[in-house]
Amino acid sequence: MPRKASWLCSNGKKGREAMLWGDKRYFSLKYYLRKRFPGKIKKIAIDAGFTCPNRDGTLGYGGCIFCSGKGSGDTGGSREMPIEEQIARGMAYHENRYGIRQFIVYFQAFTNTHGDPGYLRKLYEKAIQDDRVVALSIATRPDCLGPEILDVLDEVNRKKPLWVELGLQTIHDRTAELIGRRFDLPCFDQAVWNLKNRGIEVICHTILGLPGETPQDMIETARYVSRSGVQGIKLQLLHVLEGTALADMYQRGEFPLMEREAYVKTVVDCLEVLSPDIVIHRLTGDGPRDILLGPLWSLDKIGVLQDIDRELVWRDSWQGKYHQQV
């Protein structure tokens, strides 16, 4: 549970008691992991060779406009390598260099429930067979969770803790159409309900800075997610990557990128309306340097996170401060 602590406001006066999770004013993933899995832990991102219904013709071709050729798995493993080898290499690296002996395997690239249920079962079983794997995280779309897939996920969750990450990005229909998402908001709601009904933890992935969206639009998405019943959220900065439809739009000058100060303020606005029970899995993002067109300030990830911390202190604020007002 978070604790309360008094802070000095910018005017030197003692402010309201702020909620603290360790040394943070938000419920960070790091804090959550320390409480749930004592000892150091590392997430290993892998590429299991999946595609996406938005790419293979099931729903469309080319994917969402921001999605690179690696399907948001640019920082993950190589699909040319069996997942057992990707996992083993990741474990060996972190164990030898940092002494870490607990891991979360993260199926990151593309849509990791878009396949035959029997094949998925075998793949997930391989991922959790090592005793050092304490949990499994699977990124997918809300429209790729049919009854048989849910049964497979239920089986996995009974063996080791399972997180399912749903790519929502935005609640606004106009933006969803622009980015080519190809599922509606009720589909997301149903997926959350189906997963929670089976005791599976749900993480929602959102993007701040999508073309045409105002800070208020982004806050409304955070409010909605807070009420949806998910256990975790990723607040991801929009990255423009080479080779994407979004890059073409950006180079034609069709939308501006968020400035660093505006992004920091919007993240804090979102944190204030989120339930204090929701784990914050991400507050910015990791755009690959070799294909990142912008925002280039995002490469200073540590600095951006420090700016967010300072903004929270300056406001004398914390995650969930205005949650009861939403």
SS3 257: coil
The ranges assigned to domains in the chain are 1-25+235-321, 37-199
- In 210-259, alpha helices (H): 215-228, 245-251
pLDDT reported for residue 131: 95
Whether residue 15 has pLDDT greater than 70: no
Model confidence at 17, in pLDDT bands (50, 70, 90)?
low
- pLDDT, average across residues 299-310: 97
Residues 6+ apart with CB under 8 A from 274: 222, 225, 226, 233, 280, 319, 320, 323
Give the C-alpha separation, 144 to 165, whole Å. Answer: 12
Give the C-alpha separation, 263 to 257, whole Å. Answer: 10
pLDDT reported for residue 77: 65
pLDDT over 70 for what percent of the chain? Answer: 91
pLDDT reported for residue 239: 96
Give tens-digit pLDDT for 164-206: 999 999 999 999 999 999 999 999 999 999 999 999 999 999 9
Distances (CA, A) of 221 to 103, 231, 233, 267: 31, 15, 11, 12
Considering the chain, what is the average pLDDT of its residues?
92
- In 110-259, alpha helices (H): 117-128, 147-159, 173-179, 185-197, 215-228, 245-251
Give tens-digit pLDDT for 117-158: 999 999 999 999 999 999 999 999 999 999 999 999 999 999
Give tens-digit pLDDT for 70-87: 545 444 567 789 999 999
Give the C-alpha separation, 220 to 52, whole Å. Answer: 27
Model confidence at 4, in pLDDT bands (50, 70, 90)?
low
Give tens-digit pLDDT for 41-60: 999 999 999 999 999 999 98
